Each structure stands twice: as C-alpha cells, then as structure tokens.
Amino acid sequence: MRKVFVTGIGIISAVGNNVRETIASVQNSRSGIGNITLIDTIYKNLPFAEVKCNNSALFKKVGIEEAESFSRTALLSMVAAREALLYSKINDIAEWKTGLISSTTVGGMDKSELYYEDFLTNNSRNNYIDIHDCADHTEKIADYLGINEYLTTISTACSSSANSIMFAARLIRNGTLDRAIAGGSECLSKFHIDGFYSLQILDTEPCKPFDAFRNGLTLGEGAAYLVLESEEAVKTSGKTILCELSGWGNACEAYHQTASSPEGYGAVLAMQKALAVAGLQPSQISYINAHGTGTQNNDASEGNAIETVFGNNIPPVSSTKSFTGHTTSAAGAVEGVLCILAMNRGWLLPNLNFTHKMENTHFEPVRKLQTNIKFRHILSNSFGFGGNDSCLIFSKV
C-alpha cells in the first residue's frame, strides 16, 4: 500500500495568521475567540473567532490588487495554501503529479450577501456574481500556485476539509497523483451567522466543549492546508516528513439533517474505519482531537461514540474549538494542522473553558496544555450536518 506523508502545513485562523503565530498562541493557551469586528451583524454581542486580518491586509499578503473580485474565503485559502507549499519546499509544481483538493460551504457568500441588491438592480457589482460558487476559491488557489494537474472541490459542511484530505490520500494511494494540497477555507458571513442563530446553537459565552454547562458553539473562520506526498516523491526529494496520514474513514449517521444520534453511531463507524485503514487498535491512539463543538447534542453524542470505540482505554481527549472557534468547512484541516504541530512539538492540546464533567460520561478532556508528550498516533474527528462523519489518523514517523 502506497504510504501518504505530510510534508507541509499552512494555516490562518483566529489564533494566528500563519503557523508561527499559531504556535505562539497555543504555547500561551491564548484563544482567538472575541468580538466580531469585520461584519456588521445584529449578533455582534455574541462571541466569534474572527481571523485578525481584514480583507485589505489579506490582499497585501497574497500580493493582489484590491480591485480584483475575491471573496474572503478565497483570500484566506490562498494565504494558507501558499504557506503549506512553502513549508513543503515545493519549487517546481510540475515535478510530480500534483493536485489541489479544497472545500468550502460559504464560498463567495460574504460578497453575495453584501451585493445582492446591486446584482438585482444595477451592474456595478456584477464581477462578484461569478465568484459566489464554492469551486471559485479552488480555481483561485490553482491559478495563484500554478496547479493544473487535478482540481476538485468538496462541500459536505463541517466535515468538508477532512474529506478533502481523505480524498487526496486516496488519489495518491491509487496513483492518480503523487502529491496533493488538501484542506479547506471558510469565512464568516451574515448568512450562516443568522442561520446558526435560528437553530439556537450559538453560545452567548465562548464555547465550552464537553462541559456539563456547555450551551452551544462559537462560529469561527479560517483556512488550512496539508501538503500530502507519496512515499516515492518524499524519498526522492529527501525532505523532512512531518508525519504519516495513516488512516481515514467516513460514514453516515443517517439520523437527522443536523443532529447526531444519542449513541453517535456514525461517529463510531467513522472512527472504526479509520483505525482499520491505519491497521491500529484503539489502545494505540495517543490523543483524540474531538469535533467537540460545545453543543449539547454533539458533545453528548461524540462522548458516547468515543466510549463505545475506546471502552475503558480512552486516551486524552480535547476539542481545540475553544481556541479557533468552529471553522465549519475548514475545521478538519485547521484541526489537522494543530494535531500535526502537537505531534511534532510534544503538546497535549488543552480543551479551554472546561470546568465540569458531562453527566453520563466517564472521561473529561485535557484541561491544561502539557508538554514533552510522546505521541504515536493522533485521531481527529470532524462531523458535518447531513450526518457526514469523518475521522483522520496521523502517525509519527
């Protein structure tokens, strides 16, 4: 079986505009959750995890004229994807068959919701119409980085970027590609802020995953990408390997459009599949980065699923959404990058804001950052509306 290795990471989120800033935030247990400043929403009293960088600054980072029509989703994605490529020291894209698999749900909605009236009444903003679609940002990254071998866009809500990474791994494994940049991007928008509010699942305080008094999620934004390479490509280049992507799994909860079943059966199946692909027993997992949104439903369901899979041998668990907020489509990749940083730096990532154990659960999450931890395998969950449950496993090499 062709192995798949991670050789590059790129990230922009509420905790930092790049890997270096992200490391500093994590080391200081500094959450990115705070006030929303860039969107004029009627819910500005609620906490959000905004990327601390307005669109003008993002344009500068990517070196593009502001007059061009780019969604914030595309700008964030270009920043992170470029960082991943640089991290991986790829100078010649065409040296190996290299693809791009990205994901989003919001896409260009941040602009469409601003200019909707103009679209209908005048021609002044027509250049923003075409950038609305999810695949637009993928093409923008491809043009920016010169990738043209293979492109696709996945849209499965909050499991999207985990699915992008999984799909990229399969394309490498079956020889369609030798390398891939995989991940996702999402920016905040009134459209989904208002929508999540109507579902009554936004906490009025910063989210507290797995806490008995949790009261909802905190919406965030960001983008993250991994550079995945085949064993052959890596051996030939002799470059540093960050870790192996050793397992992945996806399953359908088949319970409700947006809620998870009490037993979390879809999550159980996804984790079991990932373990099977990796050839691992649950007891070999060093740490679980949970989906852990902070909603009553997810955390209870995921808690039960973890206990079903791991029995009495539950490894340390935490949700990093109390750092980054819930970055929705980007979550799988954002949290994947955090897992890879944790693995390489020996960090046990904390589940901030936790104080009280949930009822009917036998574990409590990691409270404080711990260092000098040795990891073998890390498991990361991402569950999307529609019951789309995904799981990734990263292994130390």
Partner 1 sequence: MKTPVITQFCSINHSTVFVNGEPVFSFAENDFTAFMKAAYKNSGAEYMKFYKMDGLCKLAFITSEYLLKGPCPVKLSNPEKTAVVINNGSSSMQSDVNHQYSINDAQKYFPSPAVFVYTLPNIMIGEICIRHAIKGENALFISKEMDTGLLHNYITYLFNNKRVDSCIAGWVEQNENLYESFLLLIQKNYSDFSDNHFTFTIENLKKIYKQESN
Partner 2 sequence: MEELINKLKEQIITELNLEDIKPEDIKPDTPLFGDEGLGLDSIDALELIVLLEKNYGIKIEDPKDGKKIFYSIRTLAEYITENQSKI
Which residues participate in catalysis according to the annotation? Answer: 158, 291, 326
User: Does residue 304 bind partner 1 (CB under 8 A)?
Assistant: no
Q: Nearest to residue 179, comparing CAs of 137, 226, 144, 142? A: 226
Minimum CB distance to partner 2, residue 200 (Å)? 5
Find where tokens 């691992």 sit. Answer: 280
CA 18 to chain centre: 14
Neighbouring residues of 22: CB distance < 8 A, sequence distance ≥ 6: 11, 13, 15, 16, 337, 338, 341
Minimum CB distance to partner 2, residue 297 (Å)? 8
User: Does residue 259 bind partner 2 (CB under 8 A)?
Assistant: yes
Q: Whose Cβ is closer to partner 2: residue 55's or residue 258's?
A: 258
User: Does residue 257 bind partner 2 (CB under 8 A)?
Assistant: yes
Neighbouring residues of 200: CB distance < 8 A, sequence distance ≥ 6: 216
Q: How many CA atoms lie within 13 A of 266 on its CB side?
A: 26
User: Does residue 59 bind partner 1 (CB under 8 A)?
Assistant: no
User: Does residue 200 bind partner 2 (CB under 8 A)?
Assistant: yes
Q: Where are the alpha helices (DSSP H) in 101-157?
A: 109-121, 134-145
Question: 98-103 and 179-186: which strand pairing?
Answer: parallel
Size of the site for partner 2 (CB under 8 A): 7
Of 45, 91, 121, 198, the residue at the interface with partner 2 (CB under 8 A) is 198
Helix or strand holding residue 296 (H, E): helix 296-310
| Spatial contact of 348 and 287, defined as CB atoms under 8 Å apart | yes
Neighbouring residues of 211: CB distance < 8 A, sequence distance ≥ 6: 294, 299, 353, 354, 355, 356, 358
Q: Nearest to residue 179, comparing CAs of 135, 249, 248, 236? A: 236
Minimum CB distance to partner 1, residue 182 (Å)? 14
Stretch that binds partner 2, among 26-34, 58-66, 252-260, 325-333 (CB under 8 A): 252-260
Q: Whose Cβ is closer to partner 2: residue 198's or residue 312's?
A: 198
User: Does residue 174 bind partner 1 (CB under 8 A)?
Assistant: yes
Of 17, 22, 250, 395, the residue at the interface with partner 1 (CB under 8 A) is 250
Indicate which of partner 2, partner 1, none lies near residue 91 (CB less than 5 to 8 Å, by partner kind).
Answer: none
Phi-psi region of 325 (alpha: psi -120 to 50; beta: other; left: phi over 0): left
Indicate which of partner 2, partner 1, none lies near residue 71 (CB less than 5 to 8 Å, by partner kind).
Answer: none
Indicate which of partner 1, partner 2, none lies near residue 285 (CB less than 5 to 8 Å, by partner kind).
Answer: none
Q: Name the site residues for partner 1 (rule: CB under 8 A).
A: 42, 105, 107, 109, 112-113, 116, 133-135, 152-157, 163, 167, 170-171, 174, 176, 190-192, 194-200, 249-258, 265-266, 269, 273, 384-388
Q: Name the site residues for partner 2 (rule: CB under 8 A).
A: 198-200, 256-259
